Amino acid sequence: MTIISTESSATGADQPSTGVESGLQHPLANLSAAEITRIRDIVSAEESFTETTRFAFVGLDEPHKWEVLAWQEGDGPLPERRARVMLLDMATGYSTDNLVSIDAGAVLSTSVLDGSAGQLPVLIEEFDAVADIVAEDPRWVEALIKRGTTVDQVKCVPLSAGHYDYPEEEGRRILRVLAFRQDYPEDHPWAHPVDGLSAYVDTATRKITRLVDSDVLAIPAESGNFDDPAVQGEPLTTLKPIVITQPEGPSFEVNGEWVSWANWNFQVGFDMREGLVLRQLSFTDSGEQRPVIYRASIDEMLVPYGDPSPVRFWQNYFDTGEYLFGRFTNSLALGCDCVGEIRYFDAVMSDELGNPFTIENGICMHEEDYGTLWKHSDLFAGSNEVRRSRRLVISFFTTVGNYDYGFYWYLYLDGTIECEAKLTGVLFTSAYPGLDEAGNDYPYASEVAPGLGGPYHQHLFSARLDMMVDGLSNAVDEVDVKRVPVGPGNEHGNAFTKKVTRITSEGVSGRTADASVARAWLVTNTEKTNRMGRPTGYVLYPQDSPTLLADPSSSIARRAEFATKHVFVTRYDPAEKYAAGDFVHQNPGGDGITKFIADDASVDGEDIVLWHTFGPTHFPRPEDWPVMPVDYAKFTLKPYGFFDKNPALNVPAPAKAHCSTRLPTLSAGPGAAELAAAGECAGGCNCSND
């Protein structure tokens, strides 16, 4: 999981120590290929390691935050380099979670999973096995024939099982299988779902444990081959090229994994589970490097489906915890995903045999022009100033089966931080049942092409934001607008104000967004103040979209409590990494956030982690077929009294001379025409790409 800058630039003078100079590994450095090889050698020397043992997960075991900070301050030793290694014996299902000292060359601890509290993540080797397993079962073969197709004509999609109290699944590794017909090798099978049929498969015994054979529905026939010119139609011929150039190069500096850009500093991290991780994000203000977030990642994401069909009610994918979506990071080597002066980082991780492998250009970083940063044409002072905004974009794309997800972190000159998910790829389809006998439309899916259904679903991303606003002592306030009734002091009824509620402990920290009161959550430092004597802070602005829509008594609601609220706040604990728990695959529930908040620890003036769930509820459109135009979901963090004033005042005016100039004032003459002209874009300060 080493990040290798493909092109290293000069070291920034004000960057944090990377340890590179001293020859020591920074405690937060991503695992290198050499370290992964060493981990494999350490682990495979253990007696319990067999020929059928696979590496389900290998990741950096990050030292305690306080140890890292103490070391950086010169007040503590360099923490030990450790890795977390999850091992699965494919033949027996024997599963262990191991802590390995890379420095000492030893396994420090091993815990054995009995499966009652979840399984290790799904292996690619298990994915590959299911097609052969089902093909050997005559019931599956018969059921396909009944639907007018054959084993040779279908692709089997291995899907995570969830937890539904089937006794034969207890302690076993189970995948559920749906079939899609593929008419020829280049055909996209998602267009041809074989509905009414699903197989539950034990991947260790290689047997179908249960076959669900319900309705026989026609297999939709129309091609979904969006890459076929015949499906695309006549090419649009009116688009001229847009070329982004940065003749003097990009404005960021890269030193190994560490980046500085404008006033921002951070480390580009990568993990095979979470994908991109930003660490130690800070903003330099008057020469002082002020921390904002210690660690930020998408620690979990859930795609729950709302179709109760007997072959689909269990569709609830945890793409991070069950499938480790970081593994499926796209190589952006083609250069089509980002434009401008790009800096790529490679992602290095372990394969299932414990060998390192590299995804070249897995992470993309570039600058984007972002329109107007600030602007004013003054009526009285004659001042006419425009500044252009730009942002630094750090992103990766991962493909999990049919869907493709991009995760984009944006850093702005004014201290704003945004995280945006981009959703594209291909819908997970069904055969559309059509109208029922009473003439009612099917209530749980859209018809996206003739006879083809797009079942309703949600995409719920969990952002784990290990906050460090100006230091470790933080608190969170829920801030709502508050209407004030007419009365003494508000005789005219125009008043409105704020209602501020301190989130005092974990037990009351589960909160829901409410656009009707512009609800936001303000993270403040309880010890530091700005020049007005008020706490320095950053505010989280959510998008108001539904949380988990499944019934509170459902299996998925128990397994994904994190997704039942938009926000939870917990006391920092290095063991609390993932919102749905460490072992999400077949986890019966009550893990993750549910456990983290159970002791109701105080989060007022503590070292805290903010967990934010965001993402769209998707009623698929015909326009989402056969490939979805990108849909977006995001959240924003903005400084709120963190700075003493606008921190982007000193951004220079664009090179064009008229972007900072004087206008005639109102008192000095007519001036109206000039003032109006200042609002136009023709001069290029407001709308250009420069």
Q: Give least dist CB 512 to Co ion, A.
A: 22
Q: Give least dist CB 485 to Co ion, A.
A: 43
| In the block, residue with structure tokens 């979840």 | 118
Pick 160 or 509: Cβ nearer Co ion: 160
Of 466, 476, 635, 609, whose CA–CA distance to 545 is shortest? 635
Q: Give least dist CB 159 to Co ion, A.
A: 15
- Give the amino acid at 274: E
Of 341, 359, 444, 443, whose CA–CA distance to 397 is shortest? 359
Count other C-beta atoms under 10 Å from residue 128's C-beta. Answer: 10
Cβ pair 464, 581 in contact under 8 A: no
Pick 93 or 306: Cβ nearer Co ion: 306
Pick 428 or 521: Cβ nearer Co ion: 428
Pick 571 or 618: Cβ nearer Co ion: 618
Q: Give least dist CB 302 to Co ion, A.
A: 12
Judged by CB under 5 A, does residue 84 bind Co ion? no
Report the C-alpha gap between 314 and 303 in whole angstroms.
11
Q: Which stretch binds Co ion (CB under 5 A): 159-167, 282-290, 613-621, 664-672?
A: 613-621
Judged by CB under 5 A, does residue 455 bind Co ion? no
Judged by CB under 5 A, does residue 312 bind Co ion? no
Of 43, 51, 60, whose CA–CA distance to 109 is shortest? 43
Judged by CB under 5 A, does residue 305 bind Co ion? no
What is the secondary structure of 642-654 as a DSSP string?
Answer: SSSS-TTTTPPPP
Q: Cβ-count burial of 277 within 10 angstroms (0-12 exposed, 13-18 middle, 19+ buried)?
A: buried
Cβ pair 149, 217 in contact under 8 A: no
Pick 65 or 618: Cβ nearer Co ion: 618
Report the C-alpha gap between 467 and 471 in whole angstroms.
9
Between the alpha carbon of residue 679 and those of residues 178, 385, 646, 663, 668, the distances in Å are 58, 11, 22, 12, 19
Q: Give least dist CB 422 to Co ion, A.
A: 12
Kindly state the number of chain residues that form the binding site for Co ion, as judged by CB under 5 A. 1
Closest residue to Co ion using C-beta atoms: 618
Pick 2 or 430: Cβ nearer Co ion: 430
- The reply to whether omega before 626 is within 30° of 0 (cis) is yes
Q: Which two tokens stand for residue 399?
A: 């493909």
CA 613-619-622 angle, to 5 degrees, is 135
Q: Which two tokens stand for residue 620?
A: 């698929």
DSSP 263: T
102 Cβ neighbours under 8 A, 6+ residues apart: 35, 38, 39, 42, 80, 81, 82, 83
Count other C-beta atoms under 10 Å from residue 405's C-beta. Answer: 24
Judged by CB under 5 A, does residue 456 bind Co ion? no
Single out the residue of 387, 519, 618, 638 in contact with Co ion (rule: CB under 5 A): 618
Q: Which stretch binds Co ion (CB under 5 A): 140-148, 306-314, 505-513, 610-618?
A: 610-618
DSSP helix/strand/coil, 501: strand
Pick 612 or 618: Cβ nearer Co ion: 618
Q: Which stretch binds Co ion (CB under 5 A): 205-213, 501-509, 552-560, 617-625?
A: 617-625
Q: Give least dist CB 624 to Co ion, A.
A: 8
Q: Give least dist CB 188 to Co ion, A.
A: 17
* Positions of E strands within 530-619: 535-541, 567-571, 608-614, 617-618
Q: Which stretch binds Co ion (CB under 5 A): 90-98, 432-440, 496-504, 611-619?
A: 611-619
The residues that are catalytic are: 319, 403
Report the C-alpha gap between 198 and 138 in whole angstroms.
14
Q: Which two tokens stand for residue 617?
A: 């509820």
Cβ pair 373, 651 in contact under 8 A: yes
Judged by CB under 5 A, does residue 624 bind Co ion? no
Cβ pair 687, 393 in contact under 8 A: no
Pick 362 or 455: Cβ nearer Co ion: 455
Pick 618 or 638: Cβ nearer Co ion: 618
Judged by CB under 5 A, does residue 458 bind Co ion? no
Judged by CB under 5 A, does residue 460 bind Co ion? no
Q: Which stretch binds Co ion (CB under 5 A): 6-14, 514-522, 618-626, 660-668?
A: 618-626
Site for Co ion in 324-383 (CB under 5 A): none
Judged by CB under 5 A, does residue 404 bind Co ion? no
Q: Cβ-count burial of 575 within 10 angstroms (0-12 exposed, 13-18 middle, 19+ buried)?
A: exposed
Q: Give least dist CB 293 to Co ion, A.
A: 28
For CA atoms 149, 152, 157, 163, the dihedral sign is positive
What is the secondary structure of 270-293 as a DSSP string?
Answer: EETTTEEEEEEEEEEETTEEEEEE
Q: Which stretch binds Co ion (CB under 5 A): 173-181, 220-228, 370-378, 614-622?
A: 614-622
Pick 312 or 618: Cβ nearer Co ion: 618
Q: Give least dist CB 457 to Co ion, A.
A: 6
Q: Give least dist CB 568 to Co ion, A.
A: 24
User: What residues line the site for Co ion (CB under 5 A)?
Assistant: 618
